[in-house]
Amino acid sequence: MIELRAEADEVGLRLDAWLAGRFPEVPRAAVRRLLEAGDVTCAGRPCAKGDRVRAEAPYLLAREPRVETVAPNAALPLEVVAEDDVLLALRKPAGMDCQPNAPEEKDTLANALLARFPEVAGVGDGPLTCGILHRIDRDTSGLVLAARTQAVYAALRAQFSAHTVAKRYMALVAGTVRTPGRLEHLLAHNPRCPGRMVDASVWRDAKRPMRAVTAYKPLRTLRLCGRPCTLLDVDIRTGVTHQIRAQLSFAGMPIVGDRRYGGFLPEGFPRHFLHACAATLCHPLTGQTLTFEAPLTPDLSALLARAES
């Protein structure tokens, strides 16, 4: 048990900021997790990160926040699509997270990546990043890019932030889509339902909305489980949580298998039909325009084979 008391000039500070100042070598995310776990108490009650520091009672920490690291896991599969001295293109399977949320997690793409490419340790904007430049959802399969040096990570993240990296996806959606289209929304986390995005123009109490733009064009019309479906080629430059899933659902085209956003569920198919199939960027060292591709996974190809044209 660790006991901390506030100095006079610290009273009134946000608790998470105060604790982060007391442990400057530890990422703030580790301090937040300590609070979320209920491991910080004052006067016998658990504290929240937004609490203000008080002077009259000591703060008790059940454990000291620690520097977080990713544990390499060589037992996990890692499919490398392409690589050079500074850049990696990977194909993530469905059912795997890109990065751990806590050091105890050992079954993510980052754990597999670190086991094979140990130089990615410490590359990124946090200790759990392992050079991974962008994330796709757990049940989305396909292309993920990673940097092998901090300088290349920073250069490529600047391209993502400038929306100059083109990312292509393949999505199977409910309904018949006959013409290409473009969707633009302000997306925000649902204040009443964690883990779901909402249209901030409709949900006025949603906080920190982010602009999302999704372009799509139909590739094939199909019938699956007796229902009309359309295979879409999807292009995005922005990268908001659940962007494609949410925007297509808002437009009346939910992705097949997407429980969270209203997609119907084909028998024997446990995930949504969304695959990151390609990305185009400028190589930060050579200036060459490169396109990386990841073919459809066998489960997606099998579902398409079940459908009737």
User: What residues are paired with 213 via a beta bridge?
Assistant: 184
Q: In which residue are the tokens 């372009």 written?
A: 215
Is residue 137 among the annotated active site residues? yes
Which letter, b or e, does each residue of 19-51 get, where b requires 16 or more Cβ atoms within 10 Å of its Cβ? Answer: bbebbeebbbbbbebbbeeebbbbeeeebebeb
How many CA atoms lie less than 13 Å away from 42 in the CB half-sphere? 17
Answer for the pair 236, 167: CB distance below 8 angstroms, yes or no: yes
Catalytic residue of the set 16, 137, 235, 258: 137
Q: Token pair 């092998």 is at which residue?
A: 148
Q: Which of 130, 164, 166, 161 is nearest to 148 (CA)?
A: 130
Please say whether the beta carbons of 213 and 225 come within 8 A. no
Catalytic (active-site) positions: 137
